[in-house]
Amino acid sequence: MPMKKRWQGIRIAAIIAGMIQQSATPLQLKADWPLPRGDAASRGAADGTMPQSPELLWKYEVPKGAFESTPIVVEGKVYIGDMDGNFFALDLQDGKELWKRKSEGGFLAGAAYDQGLLVVGDYDGKVQALDPKTGELRWEFTTGAQIDAGANFFQSLVLVTSEDGVLYALDRQNGQLVWKYETGDQLRCGPTLVGSQTLLGGCDGQLHVVDLTTGKAAEGKWPLGGPTGSTPAAIDGMVVVPTHSGPILAFRPPEGEPKWNFNDPERSPEVRSSPAVHAGSAYITTRNRRLLALSLADGQLQWESVLRKRSDSSPVYCDGRVWLGATDGSLYAIDAKNGEVVWQKELPGSFLGSPAIDSGKMVIANDQGVVFCFGAPSR
């Protein structure tokens, strides 16, 4: 082997090995649910407990409104934007409106929070950085197309994906472009962090591993066999990413070949949601009314739970149960050990966004302009 190529291979392996080591360290959250998938690794898992039979604590209604985004919860405040360009801050305890900001573009993407900065992108491609206490605009940046997923943060950078196929790294102080990484096709997923790298599943059918210190590819593109808009989930050196065409793959960097590939057209003909990962299992909703539990070790099916209607809501793990919403307005808590439905609530409308869980409360919004909060009522 030529010395140059050998040295490059050693360097890449060292970088990815560092990534694995850092990913095995439990993440310390700066807030309880500061990102749409909970944490920087997009695990979709919440610490703490939830009541066995949660009750409706409050609801906040926007007349003639519609929500498709996922809320975040930070320091007792709920942040969420609607399809009409309204962005709200609500009190987690009682649902009272704390402030509201109006924008031209509506919000499909959930917001993201880090160290006193609130960031949200809209379907006109604008990224807004807001003061979380007042909603005042701090800075704005315009991408080339619609933003579908929440931002993430790395050191002094704000990371944003866009349907123009670009990952943007912006200066968190002023929103200036630091660097950009181009995939050549749409990016609908959020950037998942593992150490100093981010993982991107693209509509080009590739999994991209990007070095955040340079903005360059840290490793070659890893083929997925089909496009994806799902945000990859990373845990213990394993990365799980579903595809629009149905197969669900797992990688263990620096290996560019999948560790396993779950391919069952009957159970998983198409996936539009993002996985939740916890304690040896990956939980994925599919577009034929199923929630699947797969073994992280080998991709084997552990159980399946068949829902009444389809769920495009990304599941969330908390306290031994998997929580999700469905397009018929059903909310579910499903036992993470065996797939049995242990709690169900029927509500109007459809749930297209995902739940956020914080301090024993679950917050989720529907396409009829209502934000719901469930938990244990104070006695």
pLDDT band at 379 (very low <50, low <70, confident <90, very high): low
Average pLDDT on 138-153 reads 98
Residue 247 confidence (pLDDT): 95
Closest to 119 in 3D by CA, of 145, 165, 94, 154:
154
DSSP-derived pairing of the beta strands 72-74 and 77-81? antiparallel
Closest to 313 in 3D by CA, of 36, 124, 76:
36
pTM of the full predicted structure?
Answer: 0.91
Please name every residue paired with 206 in a beta bridge, in sequence order, or none if there are none: 223
Backbone angles phi, psi at 196, to 5 degrees: -100, 20
Rounded to whole angstroms, the Cα distance separating 222 from 208 reads 7
Q: Taking the CB of residue 224, how many other CB atoms lie within 10 A of it?
A: 25
Token code pair at residue 5:
């190529």
Residue 319 has pLDDT above 90, yes or no: yes
pLDDT band at 292 (very low <50, low <70, confident <90, very high): very high
- Around 72, how many Cα atoms within 13 Å sit in the side-chain half-sphere? 31
> Which are the contacts of 364, defined by CB distance < 8 A and separation ≥ 6?
71, 313, 325, 331, 351, 353, 354, 355, 356, 371, 372
Note whether 52 and 166 are within 8 A (CB). no
Rounded to whole angstroms, the Cα distance separating 361 from 324 reads 14
Question: Which residue type occupies 217?
Answer: A
- Number of separate domains in the chain: 1
Average pLDDT on 176-201 reads 96
Across the beta sheet with 152-154, the strand order is: 152-154, 157-161, 166-171, 177-182
DSSP-derived pairing of the beta strands 370-375 and 55-61? antiparallel
**To the nearest whole percent, how much of the chain has pLDDT over 90?**
87
Rounded to whole angstroms, the Cα distance separating 132 from 138 reads 10
pLDDT band at 255 (very low <50, low <70, confident <90, very high): confident
Residue 248 has pLDDT above 90, yes or no: yes
SS3 category, 45: strand
Residue 378 confidence (pLDDT): 75
Rounded to whole angstroms, the Cα distance separating 300 from 135 reads 46
Beta strands in 63-116 (DSSP E): 72-74, 77-81, 86-91, 97-102, 112-114
Domain span holding position 209: 3-375
- Around 275, how many Cα atoms within 13 Å sit in the side-chain half-sphere? 33
Rounded to whole angstroms, the Cα distance separating 196 from 221 reads 17
User: How many helices and strands (H and E) does the chain possess?
Assistant: 1, 34
The size of the chain, in residues, is: 379
DSSP string, 312-337: -SPPEEETTEEEEE-TTSEEEEEETT
DSSP class of 165: S
Note whether 254 and 12 are within 8 A (CB). yes
Query: What CATH number should be reported for the domain holding residue 78?
Result: 2.130.10.10
Rounded to whole angstroms, the Cα distance separating 19 from 200 reads 15
SS3 category, 282: strand
Q: Which helix (H) or strand (E) holds 4?
A: helix 3-23
C-alpha dist (Å) from residue 179 to 102, 167, 194, 199: 29, 9, 19, 16
Per-residue pLDDT tens over the stretch 194-236: 999 999 999 999 999 999 999 999 877 899 999 999 999 999 9
Residue 10 confidence (pLDDT): 36
Backbone angles phi, psi at 207, to 5 degrees: -100, 120
DSSP-derived pairing of the beta strands 316-318 and 45-46? parallel
